[in-house]
Structures are given as structure tokens and as C-alpha cells.
């Protein structure tokens, strides 16, 4: 077994900061979900986090397609304005998954980033939509209620590192993570609402794989518990370090709102990359479809 590169590393406080992932059970009541989000934001700030990551669909999880279309708001809507105010009031950065209403067509499933001044600095629209029909498992057709994004978002400079944005099902597509790493990402964010069967089978292994192959910190805030008679989520919100170690996670024994915090150390990340320089060993001359 190869020891973690953290062993013997002199840690510089200049490149260290705490971050938090949140976990809760959103339902159709947006005002209640917003209250929970604000509580998680303020709680993370009180515990010393510079940035907090909230789950996919933190604004609401609808019971049907009509409700989803009706409840979605624009990026400058009331839900986001309250998230912005909470970020400013608590002097903390926020990543939040939510629905973005369009002038026409179905809403986008987005990962939005708000800085500690309350400004929206980035919004990524989910590229890969979860259309699956698993025997004796989930049957979901996300494309019936959401529009598909069409671009990779630029990496965002945050107090905890350079952040690449994704959403939930995107974690099954390593080319997105590789592209974000190639653009300079030191961190990856996957706000999620994983189903229970797929979560039990694949959640942790996918997140750890993305962390190891890109040598980044991975933040996976998560929905948990029963949202409605038809839908429930796996939970297990976690933070994974660039060596693939789960350094923080929320309990799955409750659907009450929870936070998990970890120290993010960019010196450690750079040591991992320096001692195992896998991106220097890529073969774009051979694998032209994956040259990023």
C-alpha cells in the first residue's frame, strides 16, 4: 500500500482553508427548503468554513413535471436572492444546485456559485441528464422536466481553490472531470440527488475515482431521505481528497440537515500532482478523442 503524500508534508496555512458539504431532504415547499439552505450556510460559516456546498435541487424536488415547470425561477429570482443575501451576511462562498427557469422551454438543472459579497459568479447547466430505467430500480426521465446544457463552465477562483462545476449524474462521465482539470481545476463540485439503488452501488466509488484520476478535491453535497411517495435519495454527502481518501462525510442515519467539514490544503494537492504527474504522461497522440 502506497502511503498518502500528506505524510511528512509541511503544511502552509496560506494554502489551507475549511470547506463544508451539506445534506438535507428537500421537498416541494420552496420556502421551507430555503430556510434549511440558509441555516446550513450560517452553520458552515460559524464552524469556520470559507465555502459551503449545497445539494442538487436545493430549491425544490417536485412531485411531477407540471410542478417542476411551475416552481422553477430565473437566476435572479427570489430563491437565489435569499441565497445571495445569506452568503453576504455570513461572509462565505456558496455552491448551490437549483432549477433555472428559461423564457421558453424546460428549466435547466444548474450548479450556481455565489461569492462572499453575494454576487453570482458562475452558473453551470447540467450537461448529462438522467434518463434511465433500471430493472427493479429507478425509472427516471430527467429530460422530460429539464433542458440539457451545452457547454463546460469556466473554472472559478474561490477561497478554497480553483473550482470546476458539475451536477450529480455528470460524475459518470470522466471526460468532463478531465476537461475541468485541464482547465486548471483543483476542486470539483457534484451537488447531487442520487437514487438509493444507484447510490448504494456506485456513489462513493465514482466520487473517489473522479478525485484520484484528476488529483482534485471532490465535493459531493447530497439530498437524502423521502421527498415524496415516488422519490427518495441516498445521501452520504462527502468530501474526497486528491489521493482518493474520504476526509469528511455526513451520516446516513437521519434525513435532518447536516454539515461535514474538511480542511482543503492546496500544498497537499500540488505534492500529489508533483509526485505522481499523471497529466504529464497522457498520450493525446494515441487517444485523440480524450486529448484534454
Distance CA(192)–CA(248), nearest Å, equals 16
The verdict on whether 196 is a catalytic residue reads no
Active-site position among 100, 168, 250, 271:
168
Distance CA(178)–CA(155), nearest Å, equals 12
8 A C-beta contact, residue 163 and residue 154: no
DSSP assignment of 139-207: EEEGGGT-BPP-SPPPPEEETTEEEEE--GGGGG-HHHHHHHHHTT-SEEE--B---HHHHHHHHHHHH
DSSP assignment of 194-221: --HHHHHHHHHHHHHHHHHHHT-EEEE-
Distance CA(109)–CA(99), nearest Å, equals 5
CA dihedral 25, 30, 31, 33 (to 10 degrees): 20
- Nearest partner of 33 among 75, 76, 71, 74, judged by Cα: 71
DSSP assignment of 248-260: EE--SS--S-EEE
HSE-up (13 A, CA, CB side) for residue 219: 37
Active-site position among 100, 126, 250, 271:
126
- Three-class secondary structure of residue 113 per DSSP: strand
The verdict on whether 82 is a catalytic residue reads no
The verdict on whether 168 is a catalytic residue reads yes
- Three-class secondary structure of residue 264 per DSSP: strand
Catalytically annotated residues = 56, 126, 168
Amino acid at each position: 500500500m502506497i502511503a498518502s503524500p500528506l505524510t511528512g508534508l509541511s503544511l502552509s496555512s496560506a494554502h489551507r482553508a475549511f470547506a463544508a458539504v451539506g445534506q438535507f431532504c428537500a421537498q416541494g415547499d420552496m420556502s421551507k427548503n430555503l430556510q434549511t439552505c440558509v441555516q446550513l450556510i450560517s452553520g458552515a460559516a460559524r464552524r469556520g468554513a470559507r465555502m459551503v456546498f449545497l445539494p442538487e435541487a436545493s430549491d425544490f424536488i417536485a412531485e411531477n413535471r407540471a410542478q417542476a415547470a411551475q416552481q422553477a425561477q430565473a437566476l435572479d429570482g427570489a430563491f437565489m436572492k435569499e441565497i445571495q443575501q445569506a452568503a453576504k451576511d455570513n461572509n462565505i462562498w456558496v455552491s448551490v444546485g437549483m432549477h433555472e427557469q428559461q423564457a421558453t422551454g424546460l428549466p435547466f438543472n444548474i450548479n450556481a456559485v455565489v461569492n462572499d459579497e453575494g454576487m453570482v459568479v458562475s452558473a453551470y447547466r447540467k450537461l448529462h441528464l438522467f434518463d434511465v430505467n433500471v430493472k427493479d430500480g429507478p425509472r427516471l426521465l430527467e429530460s422530460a422536466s429539464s433542458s440539457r446544457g451545452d457547454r463546460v463552465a469556466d473554472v472559478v477562483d474561490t477561497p478554497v481553490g480553483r473550482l470546476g462545476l458539475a451536477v450529480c449524474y455528470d460524475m459518470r462521465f470522466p471526460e468532463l472531470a478531465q476537461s475541468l482539470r485541464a482547465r486548471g481545476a483543483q476542486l470539483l463540485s457534484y451537488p447531487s440527488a442520487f437514487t438509493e439503488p444507484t447510490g448504494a452501488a456506485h456513489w462513493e466509488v465514482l466520487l473517489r475515482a473522479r478525485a484520484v484520476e484528476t488529483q482534485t478535491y471532490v465535493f459531493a453535497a447530497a439530498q437524502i431521505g423521502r421527498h415524496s411517495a415516488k422519490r427518495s435519495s441516498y445521501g452520504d454527502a462527502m468530501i474526497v481528497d486528491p489521493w482518493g481518501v474520504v476526509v469528511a462525510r455526513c451520516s446516513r442515519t437521519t434525513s435532518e440537515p447536516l454539515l461535514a467539514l474538511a480542511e482543503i490544503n492546496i500544498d497537499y494537492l500540488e505534492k500529489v500532482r508533483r509526485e505522481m504527474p499523471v497529466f504529464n504522461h497522457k498520450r493525446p497522440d494515441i487517444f485523440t478523442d480524450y486529448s484534454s
